[in-house]
Amino acid sequence: GESVGLHLPTLSVQEGDNSIINCAYSNSASDYFIWYKQESGKGPQFIIDIRSNMDKRQGQRVTVLLNKTVKHLSLQIAATQPGDSAVYFCADNPSSGTYKYIFGTGTRLKVLA
């Protein structure tokens, strides 16, 4: 796989602690939001999604929160593990029906042993 040496904001978290990764979006018409995880040398992988008519959605160890008032999205990872170390991207679909997703610049999560 491929990766790039991204100069990204970095979040360092102790193993076992909870992580919170934040994302701001700009288009108030966006109707769909997705979080992806990109491990070194690989393409992004889908983690969880949320529709604009929801404010919270839970998955396995992950929770996404959506605050449409301030156009903010967060990804919470419970009991962070070494395997969670990666770059995390949010993406949104600003034009309903076109499926042209716009990605954020990403946050690097480092899990400290």
Partner 1 sequence: DAGITQSPRHKVTETGTPVTLRCHQTENHRYMYWYRQDPGHGLRLIHYSYGVKDTDKGEVSDGYSVSRSKTEDFLLTLESATSSQTSVYFCATLADSTLNEQFFGPGTRLTVL
In the complex, the residues that contact partner 1 under the rule CB under 8 A are 1-8, 32, 34, 36, 42-46, 49, 89, 91, 93, 98-106
Indicate the SS3 state at residue 32.
Answer: strand
Q: Whole-number minimum distance, CB 23 to partner 1, in Å?
A: 11
Indicate the SS3 state at residue 83.
Answer: helix
109 with 19: CB under 8 angstroms?
Answer: yes
Choice between 13 and 50, CB closer to partner 1? 50
Distance between CA atoms of residues 23 and 4, nearest Å:
20
Distance between CA atoms of residues 80 and 19, nearest Å:
7
Q: Whole-number minimum distance, CB 106 to partner 1, in Å?
A: 5
Q: Whole-number minimum distance, CB 113 to partner 1, in Å?
A: 27
Q: Whole-number minimum distance, CB 108 to partner 1, in Å?
A: 12
Distance between CA atoms of residues 20 and 11, nearest Å:
9
Choice between 13 and 47, CB closer to partner 1? 47
Choice between 70 and 99, CB closer to partner 1? 99
